[in-house]
Amino acid sequence: MEPIKESTDMKLRRLGRSGLEVSALGFGCMGLSYGYGPAVDRAAGVQLIRAAVERGVTFFDTAEAYGALNEEMVGEALAPVRDRVVIATKFGFRDGHVQAGLDSRPERIRAVVEASLQRLRTDRIDLLYQHRVDPDVPMEDVAGAVKSLIAAGKVRHFGLSEAGIESIRRAHAVQPVTALQSEYSLWWREPEQALLPLLEELGIGFVPFSPLGKGFLTGAIDASTEFSKDDFRNVVPRFAPAARQANRALIDALTVIAQAQGATLAQVALAWLLAKKPWIVPIPGTTKLHRLEENLAAADVELGAADLQRIQEALAGIAIEGARYPAALAGRVGR
């Protein structure tokens, strides 16, 4: 196997006050095998993850719920550089299946970690997230189980995904939370209301997933775009054809700003997140090398105060159509 050449060009960020240092942009691996149609070929997935390493990415995000293949690709790709990267994975669904419901019992957490360590070919998980808050398991028990795994050296940092204010506070009181992962982008700005102030108060980093609006903010999706039958976006109200048509107003506004910057829409969307707080680390995902390179170049796009004001004014005049989750899944977030 060819040695992986690592870049030192990517800027680094710290997730809150935890001391966990990662590349300013991470790589969300979900789409390699889950959620957006057929899985990529295993060798191609490994190759793309290694390409990210070569371009300076040190932060990789996976989960049990994305299927064994996802963690296995991450493990195989990163084994040669394991000590120089940060691997995040997640527990929280019954038997690892989203459709089966939630399960964050301490014994289940321990079992998931053991299985993930095997698939990831490592002896520790750098950042372990609860994928969704389980209302049937007290948060103190969840945080306590992760605290024990940290004491045992199998986990380094604790994270939460899509958790609400009370859950974050309760978890943080037992085991300091290093990062919260939730959706945040130019077309989903709810975290600005209560989450960002709380994270700043507690010194918790923020890891936005879907920072490109599940692809919409690239400008490549319009009302006529057809998704494959197993693509999650088929059931998302915000991606209904009428909503897509209405939401093109955001793309039109961003296009003007991107052209003035000499950047792409995706780069402006990512640069906007990076400009919000120094402890925000977006994790865009892709299956294409040219998109990976485009995304990572966003770390060099500097948005000044005038640019941010222009974006803010554009956003204020646009109403985004459609919910971000179908009703059946909406109850799992913000608990």
Name residue 298's amino acid. A
CA 24 to chain centre: 13
| CB contact at 8 A, 86 and 20 | yes
CA 120 to chain centre: 18
> Cα–Cα distance between 310 and 304 in angstroms, integer?
10
Q: Which of 36, 66, 129, 184 is catalytic?
A: 66
Q: Is residue 139 exposed (0-12), middle (13-18) or buried (19+ Cβ within 10 Å)?
A: buried
| CB contact at 8 A, 130 and 92 | yes
* 129 has catalytic annotation: no
**Strands, E assignment, the chain:** 12-14, 21-23, 27-28, 59-61, 86-91, 125-130, 155-161, 177-183, 205-209
Query: What CA–CA distances, in Å, run from 334 to 11, 77, 213, 317?
Result: 31, 33, 18, 26
DSSP H or E run through 314: helix 305-316
> Cα–Cα distance between 238 and 215 in angstroms, integer?
12
Residue linked to tokens 């095997």:
118
Q: Which residues contact 165 (CB under 8 A, 6 or more apart)?
A: 194, 195, 198
DSSP result, 139-185: HHHHHHHHHHHHHTTSEEEEEEES--HHHHHHHHHHS-EEEEEEE-B
> Cα–Cα distance between 108 and 291 in angstroms, integer?
36
Catalytic residues: 66
